[in-house]
Amino acid sequence: MSLPEPLPQKLRDLPAKPGVYLMRDRHGKVIYVGKAKSLRNRVRNYFQKATAKRADPKIRGLIHSIADLDTIVVGNEAEAILTEGKLIKEYKPYYNTLFKDDKRFILLRIHLEDPFPSFGIARIRKPDGAVYLGPYVSSTAARAAKEFAEQHYGLRRCRPRVPGEEHHRHCLADILSFCSAPCIGKISREEYRSRAEEAVAFLRGERREVLKELEGRMNAAAEKMDFEKAARLRDTLFHLRRVIRQRASGTHDLDRQREEALEGLRQLKAELKLPALPQVIETFDISNTGGEEAVASMVCAVGGRPNRSRYKRFRMKYTTGPDDPAMIAEAARRRYSRLLEEKKSMPDLVVFDGGITQLRAGRAALDSLGLTDLPAVGLAKQHEEVVWDVANKEPPLRLPLNSPGLKVLRGIRDEAHRFALTYHRTLRDRRIRESLLDDIPGIGEKRKMILLKHFGSVQRLRKAEVAQIAEAPGIGRKFAETVYEVLHRRT
């Protein structure tokens, strides 16, 4: 089968190592993410004649849609699983079916600022000041590591934030010597916290001597022919090594991704003749349906990687009709006039999703604010061309598809598209739901707003009984019956 460029060369260069592959369509959009023990064997298999003939329709559809692919080499299969899940959640590829239930791997959480810190299990990493360890592919290994750390360092398992004597009465951990019993003052707060910090360091792989000690206990038990104890220690050692090894490989992978992003920033600085390394990049994209529910997204990358805390979204206020360049200009004008007003720093580079038309519109908006020195480029989807330097009529820049600079731009462009599309769909679905109220006889704008304000949404209104609807100000029983009848007629 004939393959689009640059697939033939990439297939020849695939390493026989574990990793993750991202398949893209002709627009550069990620349509499938997969993992493999051997990237060479797994990816090449898609392009065998037998696969194209015998695979189910979904796989054949995927194969015919592939125009390009990227690969990420990782240290082991567990790391590949974690990376695959992360990328599927990030890109939401059309052909993926796994991970769509938003399954999350297990994390260990401990807040070292608590009076007596203790480990807990979490699924979501929150900005709450706690230390999070993981995520871990094996929940069994993670729970075994948590239990060992608690026993070895004498950390409590009870739930109260500040345990006291009343909690000690019902606790066996102290009797079994599993806990240092801070609840009854057997250990000072400072010493207990020191133990908690040591436990964290151990789970991060910084206290390897503990593993050697455990291995010695296992060998000693075997020599005494206490095989049951030796087996227990062997299993614990296996789980601990798995957790610590995964932690180390995950840190290595993150470091590699940061280095690749930094390499991409260096390339962009050189190719685009930027005055400084583009540490902060802001990218704009538009989403609308024929001009309806038109929105813009602004996503930010710091150090070449997305920084979600700095994302912004805009509903179009002044642009009417399906005019994407005008919407780009409006979003840019609103964003940077606000930064100027608040005297905040500007990004190092602005990227507009689109070609020369979008770049000219965005550039005009920046110039109108006096930001003539703020670098801006456009990223055209058709050939992934970087349009730049409009004033000097420089030709579009075509970076190799696997170049680090283009990977940085494509990654943030895809994220801007996802963020804009999600917001647009939210507004569109809300408008469709609220339009159901227009079918209610005698509704009027005032009553519509009363119902929406009282119930918060049409979805909640549809779940309400007649008596509950009648409780809304100025609605009454008779009109509530009409509302209920109309809304449930359509379900």
Claim to verify: residue 286 and residue 303 sit in the same structural domain: yes
Residue 178 lies in a domain: yes
Number of H helices, E strands in the chain: 17, 13
Pairing type for strands 68-73 and 305-306 reads unpaired
Same domain? For 299 and 427 the reply is: yes
**133 and 27 share one domain:** no
- List, in order, residues 6 or more apart from 96 with CB less than 8 Å away: 32, 33, 88
In sequence order, which residues have a C-beta less than 8 Å from that of residue 166 and are 6 or more positions away?
Answer: none
C-alpha 295/C-alpha 315 separation (Å) is: 5
pTM for this entry: 0.53
For residues 310 and 388, state if they share a domain: yes
Residue 491 has, within 13 A of its CA and on its CB side, a CA count of: 10
Structure tokens at 103: 């399954």
> Above 60 in pLDDT, residue 491?
no
What pLDDT score was predicted for residue 397?
92
Q: Does 84 share its domain with 110?
A: no
pLDDT at 269: 96
Shared domain check, 214 and 114: yes
CB-CB contact of 336 with 328 (8 Å)? no
For residues 46 and 82, membership in a common domain is answered with yes
Please give the pLDDT value at position 176: 57
Q: Are residues 287 and 416 in the same domain?
A: yes
Q: What pLDDT shows up at residue 251? A: 62
- What is residue 446's predicted lDDT score, i.e. its pLDDT? 82
pLDDT at 102 over 50: no
Find tokens 């209104």 and name the residue. 461
Q: State both tokens at 224.
A: 């005494």
| CATH number of domain containing 445 | 1.10.150.20
Both 348 and 383 in one domain: the answer is yes
pLDDT of residue 101: 46
* 369 part of a folded domain: yes
Averaged pLDDT, 436-459 = 79
Q: Is the pLDDT of residue 220 over 90?
A: yes
Question: Which residues constitute the domain of residue 139?
Answer: 106-248
205 and 122 in a single domain? The answer is yes
- Look at strands 292-302 and 280-289 and give their pairing: antiparallel
Higher confidence at residue 480 or residue 246? 480
Which tokens belong to 235?
């299993």
Structural Rg of the chain based on CA atoms: 29
Helices marked H in 308-403: 324-341, 356-368
Dig out the tokens for 291 from the structure: 């001009």
120 and 221 co-located in one domain: yes
Burial of 234 (0-12, 13-18, 19+ CB in 10 A): middle
Strand residue runs (E) in 268-389: 280-289, 292-302, 305-306, 312-315, 349-353, 376-380, 385-387
* pLDDT tens digits along 289-320: 766 778 999 999 999 988 888 999 999 999 88
More confident residue, 178 or 213: 213
pLDDT at 142 over 50: yes
Beta strands in 123-196 (DSSP E): 131-136
User: Is residue 4's pLDDT more than 80?
Assistant: no
SS3 content of the chain, % helix, strand, coil (to 5): 50, 15, 35
Asked if the structure places residue 261 within a domain, the reply is no
